[in-house]
């Protein structure tokens, strides 16, 4: 029973009523946020052997006693969890219920609804204006509008659709990797025209808009990339509430997707070949490939399965010999330039997959993520690593005066939700304004002007999102400079041609790769190179006069954000980064040998090892190639997980040495110097209790070390950009 109180009765009476079969019957929107009402819906569905799935809205037809006679949910453009009580199935309750949902959807601007259901329910929905567009033994997909018809008309008129053999690849590309490009290169050579269709659903790390642009850039000159559609049926969008056995869900979803492609999409494109990469590790994807070979030939479509690009050689060392692409080298060069590259088999064996790239990003390894992706994908990797660094800083608990999950710190205008949302805006804005930044390589505009314009565009997007609250202005400047510098180093290294040569060699010879083989030494840029680049880039930027930091620089002679950048963030590379790494990573081999590929020599000539090494232990030069890096024993290093202490201590280290203009602005220069002393004292005698006490005091006093927080995020980003271990 839904009604057990006067308040509940009044709630339901306020809802809409409709007339059905001469009886007054309520159609109510159920408050699914209430555990009690949610349980009522679950119980109702279970009586029909159905399960409740995630829905945005759920509507019920109620009997006079308040019990549920029929129900259906709406999630985006999908009608889900449709059921009628067995005792009421002769009363025609589905029609008014679905009509009501169609009206609700129309108010949201959704005019084309779909429904997945059992084949035996086809007649019911057909009578309500739906028509079947895909069919499998255990499920059908219907829609009530012209969505599929319009989509097919659009693709069938595509200007690239022509005579000859036409092939299709459908990919998610989350993100676009060298494995995807390898597949496209192989398919391109087997047909007259190749189309690539991205999966449109926005449930990936990289949103659809970014994946679409990655695919377009990566497939340039090889394939025509179409817009994604709502007619790829994936495991993420396929509802399973009506299947008795969940083990049948995956295969039913696959069969529906293949039926949709074979019956509608392929004919519209004139496609007769579907290309797919082999799947050596994932059983579900391997099964999808098997079903594809069974189903699509019944529609006159052949399936070509291309062995995936796999990392790791045939020997235990992971060593592989490569020769440059014959089309780009003379015979003499071919005989002299073949190289052998070594890699660590424990982290590099297996397919060149997007899963491995995402794992590398999660662990903060730009080097590994970049080794698995084409250069066109790298800006997206850097943007994600920027967001990762900001999230790690934000999620660090007990930061004195700063926002975290449990406290707003010394701020009344900021909270965790606002800061978290700002980070996502920064990440997406970095990508959205990237074309502006790339104009620097082809325009006569001075580099620093476009860099400043780029940063201001991101800042404007964030300020619009926050309604004028300055959440990350300093971080946008600092992390933006580091990100741009990292991309500059790689873009100026002619690495794109180098990588294309290696990939072409693989396409021609179907060889196994190692991550190191697809990059040169310029990818693994050292800290000194990144520091120098930041200094040179920021040295062209004129100081501003409209910030609290600029005022502190003028009045007290401290170094502000621009001055630190123009020095190449010397304190970060000499002190904060080695300090953080010494705390954050475990398993480092002991002894002088551990510095082989990690030495840092700053411009000043003061040798400083990035892991707190003595000058005597540091070698004279940094590694010259990825082979040197791969052979280094520091591959055993692992990031410690589950502890915030390295980040908390690094923040205190920064606070103890940085003249934080945010603190100076809030509480004055003298108190800011005391903050440095207090941070140093707590770091020397660190305890959680001491950190809690400092947080309480700084929150109350209004002391917010925002500059130190920005430098902590920058330290995390620099670490992920310059580390060499997998």
- In this predicted model, what pLDDT tens digit does every residue of 632-667 receive, in sequence order? 323 333 444 447 899 999 999 999 999 998 999 899
pLDDT value, residue 323:
27
Helix (H, G, I), strand (E, B) or coil at 224: strand
The separation between the first and the last C-alpha atoms of the chain, rounded to the nearest angstrom, is 57
pLDDT digits (tens, 9 = 90+) for 667-683: 999 999 999 999 999 99
Rg (CA), the chain: 30
Report the distance separating Cα 181 and Cα 195, nearest Å. 13
Residue 514 has pLDDT above 80, yes or no: no
> What percent of the chain is predicted at pLDDT more than 90?
47
More confident residue, 8 or 453: 453
Mean pLDDT of the chain: 79
Mean of pLDDT values over 172-199: 94
What domains can be seen in the chain, in order of their start residue? 6-111 (3.40.630.30), 149-308 (3.40.50.620), 354-722 (no CATH)
Residue 322 has pLDDT above 70, yes or no: no
Report the distance separating Cα 104 and Cα 111, nearest Å. 10
Residue 622 has pLDDT above 60, yes or no: no
Q: What residue has token string 């003249």?
A: 659
- Burial level of 349, CB count in 10 A (0-12/13-18/19+)? middle
pLDDT digits (tens, 9 = 90+) for 283-315: 888 889 999 999 999 999 999 999 888 765 443
- Kindly indicate the confidence band of residue 2, based on its pLDDT and cuts at 50, 70 and 90: very low
**DSSP of 310-344:** EES-SSTT--EEE---GGGS-HHHHHH--EEE---
Q: Is the dihedral of CA 287, 292, 298, 304 positive or negative?
A: negative
């Amino acid at each position: 029973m839904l009604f057990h109180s006067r308040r509940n009765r009044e709630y339901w009476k306020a809802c809409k009523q409709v007339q059905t079969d001469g009886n007054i019957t309520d159609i109510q929107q159920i408050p699914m946020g209430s555990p009690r009402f949610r349980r009522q819906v679950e119980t109702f569905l279970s009586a029909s052997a159905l399960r409740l799935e995630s829905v945005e809205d759920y509507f019920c037809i109620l009997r006079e006693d308040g019990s549920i006679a029929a129900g259906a949910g709406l999630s985006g453009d999908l009608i889900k969890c449709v059921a009628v009580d067995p005792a009421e199935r002769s009363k025609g309750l589905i029609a008014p219920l679905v009509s009501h949902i169609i009206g609700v959807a129309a108010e949201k601007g959704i005019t084309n609804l779909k429904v997945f259901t059992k084949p035996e329910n086809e007649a019911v929905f057909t009578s309500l204006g739906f028509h079947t567009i895909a069919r499998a033994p255990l499920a059908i997909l219907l829609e009530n509008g012209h969505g599929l018809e319009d989509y097919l008309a659009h693709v069938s008129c595509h200007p690239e659709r022509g005579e000859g053999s036409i092939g299709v690849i459908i990919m998610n590309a989350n993100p676009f990797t060298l494995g995807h490009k390898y597949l496209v290169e192989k398919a391109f050579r087997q047909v007259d025209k190749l189309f690539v269709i991205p999966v449109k659903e926005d449930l990936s790390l990289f949103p659809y808009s970014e994946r679409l642009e990655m695919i377009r850039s990566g497939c340039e000159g090889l394939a025509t990339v179409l817009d994604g559609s709502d007619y790829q049926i994936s495991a993420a969008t396929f509802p399973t509430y009506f299947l008795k056995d969940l083990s049948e869900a995956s295969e039913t979803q696959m069969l529906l997707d293949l039926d949709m492609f074979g019956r509608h999409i392929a004919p519209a494109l004139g496609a007769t070949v579907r290309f797919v990469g082999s799947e050596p590790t994932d059983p579900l994807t391997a099964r999808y490939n098997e079903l594809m070979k069974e189903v699509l030939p019944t529609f006159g479509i052949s399936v070509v399965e291309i062995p995936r690009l796999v990392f790791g050689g045939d020997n235990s060392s992971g060593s592989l010999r490569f020769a440059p692409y014959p089309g780009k080298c003379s015979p003499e060069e071919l005989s002299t330039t073949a190289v052998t590259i070594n890699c660590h088999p424990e982290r590099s064996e297996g397919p060149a997959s997007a899963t491995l790239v995402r794992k590398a990003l999660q662990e903060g390894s730009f080097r590994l993520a970049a080794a698995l992706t084409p250069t066109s994908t790298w800006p997206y990797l850097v943007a994600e690593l920027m967001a990762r660094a900001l999230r790690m800083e934000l999620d660090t608990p007990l930061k004195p005066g700063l926002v975290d999950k449990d406290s707003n710190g010394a701020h009344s205008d900021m909270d965790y939700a606002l800061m978290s949302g700002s980070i996502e805006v920064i990440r997406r804005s970095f990508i959205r304004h990237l074309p502006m930044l790339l104009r620097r390589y082809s325009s006569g505009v001075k580099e620093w002007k476009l860099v400043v314009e780029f940063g201001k565009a991101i800042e404007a997007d964030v300020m619009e999102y926050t309604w004028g609250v300055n959440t990350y202005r300093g971080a946008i400047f600092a992390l933006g400079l580091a990100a741009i510098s990292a991309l500059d180093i790689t873009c100026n290294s002619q690495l794109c041609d180098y990588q294309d040569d290696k990939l072409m060699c693989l396409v021609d010879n179907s060889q196994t790769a190692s991550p190191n083989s697809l990059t040169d030494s310029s990818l693994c840029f050292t800290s000194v190179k990144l520091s120098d680049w930041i200094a040179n880039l920021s040295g062209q930027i004129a100081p501003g006069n409209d910030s609290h930091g600029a005022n502190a620089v003028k009045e007290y002679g401290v170094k502000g954000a621009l001055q630190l950048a123009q020095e190449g963030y010397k304190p970060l590379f000499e002190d904060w980064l080695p300090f953080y790494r010494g705390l954050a990573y475990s398993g480092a081999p002991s002894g002088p040998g551990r510095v082989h590929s990690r030495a840092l020599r700053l411009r000043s000539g003061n040798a400083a090892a990035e892991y707190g090494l003595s000058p005597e232990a540091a070698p004279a030069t940094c590694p010259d190639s990825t082979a040197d890096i791969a052979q280094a024993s520091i591959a055993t290093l692992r990031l410690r997980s589950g502890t915030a202490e390295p980040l908390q201590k690094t923040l205190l280290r920064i606070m103890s040495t940085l003249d934080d203009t945010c603190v100076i602005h809030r509480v004055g220069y003298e108190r800011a110097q005391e903050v440095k002393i207090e941070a140093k004292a707590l770091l020397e005698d660190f305890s959680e209790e001491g950190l809690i006490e400092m947080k309480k005091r700084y929150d109350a006093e209004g002391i917010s070390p925002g500059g130190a927080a920005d430098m902590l995020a920058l330290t995390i980003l620099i670490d992920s950009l310059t580390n060499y271990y997998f």
